[in-house]
Amino acid sequence: MRNIKICIAYNGTAYHGWQRQNNNITVQQLIEDCMGRITNGKITAHGCSRTDAGVHAREFYLNAKTESAIPCPGLMRAMNKMLPDDIAVLSCEDADEDFHARFSAHGKEYVYLVNNAKHKDVFGSDLALFYPYPLDEKRLDGAAKLFVGKHDFAAFCKAEAKEHLKTTVRTVYDFTVTRSGDTVSFTVSGDGFLHNMVRIMVGTLIYVSEGKRTEADILRSLETGERTDAGVTIPPHGLYLNKVFY
């Protein structure tokens, strides 16, 4: 039995996230069905993350076990031929038996993109959040640094998700806010992320820009764990899983 490690990229606009669901189309479903047809066997794909509906991935890893002898280059070519245009296989290799795309990862990096122009981008409306109001990326970069370190991020987690977690403590390695023309990028890396954590952190920073929250509120939210101390959960379509660290 081989353990195959595959890296894919996808535009998540048409999908209800990674994880297979009964009534919605997901990336996992398409990957498993595609690999199953190619290998003529049942495939279970283990993903590195459970991206939400509408979230994108520039680098998403999965592993799947198969008895098929198809070499990785051939498997990769066949998958890219069969998968829809919004999913691409970037690499494929044989991995150690104990490799697991999720549990073997040391951390992840996410990027949230904001279109800070005066008008909408009609060709990229599903790829970045349109926000036509002033954003001071230098101030927000300084505020983002308050998240760096080991903290209890209970205030930055979807309420229902916390009930199933042993701990809401996570370590953020780095958080930067940069601008390139009209695009403002919020880039954050860490050892793990709670449900909606990145979207709530970015939403909190945007609230800081709007004067609805302050840097002191960020520090207080990390201490109290109260969801109401943090900012809004911004929409998913600006979020990208950017890198996975092994």
Active site residues: 52
| Largest interatomic CA distance in the chain | 59
Beta strands 239-245 and 107-115: pairing type? antiparallel
Let me know if 213 is exposed, middle or buried by CB neighbors in 10 A (0-12, 13-18, 19+). buried
The pair of three-digit structure tokens given for residue 33, joined into one six-digit string: 């069905």
How many other β-carbons are positioned within 10 Å of the β-carbon of residue 185? 18
Composition of the chain by helix, strand, coil, percent to 5: 30, 30, 40
